[in-house]
Structure 1
């Protein structure tokens, strides 16, 4: 039965609320170790409790959080590309299984990069005024890697590539499309801020991850589609140029044949006159 008008709109809204909340809950459940230790660090009365939890989170994230996030992006890809009625549980866990190894390796890579950046940032922050400027540089690196992380998941679930190619392309896309990268960072930052500060973690539990994943893949897919159109237009232009060059070559050959025939006819006429 299909609803129309106001009832149809309300039905569609409730359907999307259900989809987003189910995927977000699956994401949290599959990342329980990471969120558990993060929550323990946040609610602890000790100011250094969260810092003490960071090594544990860094170890656990590649094996739990990253595969769960890749599965969430798998479902988001289906939604963005028009497959809205896919079975949620089946699609999620299929994405979890298929992308587990690549997401784990990518998670290890990104965790190492973030650790290196953090160590260098705090090191240069404690130095003199001259070297302290370098700390700002590592903040810029953090922003680039953070945006690359979103592109990493989008590329992994959308294209068949080796892990090194996915990592390389995620960074190249981030640097090569600064406007889209800034929009992606700002919008996801706003979503994160609203979910964490305004609704007492209600949106974190039911909507934050799925909304960010859906928006991130939508942004990536929009840029990727534009890139494909430009590439197709360039290929068409190249084919047109090749066709024109081939036509010119064929015309040149015809002209040269005509000239050869005319020369031979003139030679025959001269021979008859003699």
Structure 2
């Protein structure tokens, strides 16, 4: 049994915190013009995909810029539909919350909207890192992401809880959002997708 090394663990933990903070700042830099938000996010998921494959020794800025340029236009195929649907969900939610009279029908629709928003958000979080692993159509990609989310409920629940905890921490200390917001979200989504993908694949092989 390998002996626990506190010093190495602290060093590795510090390195991971540094990676997440630096890549989050790079993402913010490349997202400053709103139109580049989607390519910047796509590049971020490509970087976290490299991390999941053990490629952690690359120059973060150069690697990010390379993926940003390489996938600039293709990133909109996935990112644009997600942004449009999320924007529509936001508008619907805002409209419902501004209603003075909350009838039973409005309440039912509101909870259905929230449920759909959570499920769509989780599906998107699976689909974005999955796009770096498989080369399929956008519809097939989101369908596969939804299958992973549903077939591995424990992983999906842990991902959701992690996001809620992260949101609570960022609300308490907003300054941390500059360093540990989107990068942490992308890394958590990548880890969840990899775990769910492997488990689903193993279960399929066994059957």
Q: Structure 2 length as normaliser, TM-score?
A: 0.82
Counterpart-to-counterpart distance in 2, 1:198 and 1:121? 24
Rg larger in 1 or in 2?
Answer: 1
Query: How much does 1:71 deviate?
Result: 1.2
Does residue 221 of the first structure (1) align with residue 197 of the second (2)?
no
In the TM superposition, what is the alpha-carbon distance from 1:7 to its structure 2 partner?
4.5
1:129 — aligned with what? 103
Counterpart mapping for 1:250-261 below 5 A: none
Q: Helix, strand or coil for the counterpart of 1:64?
A: helix
Q: Aligned with 2:83: secondary structure?
A: helix
8 Å CA contact retained: 2:148, 2:193? no
Report the alpha carbon displacement of residue 140 of structure 1 after superposing the two structures with TM. 0.7
Pair 1:171 & 2:146 matched: yes
Which of the numbers 126, 129, 132 marks the counterpart of 1:157?
Answer: 132
Partner in structure 2 of residue 209 of structure 1? 182
CA deviation profile, 1:193-222 (whole Å, cap 9, x unmatched): 21x223341x21122222221121111101
Match of 2:172 in 1: 198
Q: 1:178-197 alignment to 2 at 5 Å? A: 178-194=153-169, 196-197=170-171
Relative distance call for 1:177 and 1:93 in structure 2 (3 A) is: same
Deviations 1:69-99 (A, max 9, x none): 2211211122222222233223222332343
Q: CA deviation at 1:15?
A: 2.4
Task: Kindly indicate whether residue 57 of structure 2 is the aligned counterpart of residue 85 of structure 1.
Answer: yes
The unaligned stretches of length 5 or more in structure 1 are 34-59, 235-274
1:152/1:140 Cα in 2 relative to 1: closer, same or farther (>3 Å)? same
Aligned to 1:70: 42
> Which ranges in structure 2 are unaligned for 5 or more consecutive residues?
none
RMSD value, Cα: 2.5
Partner residue of 1:15? 15
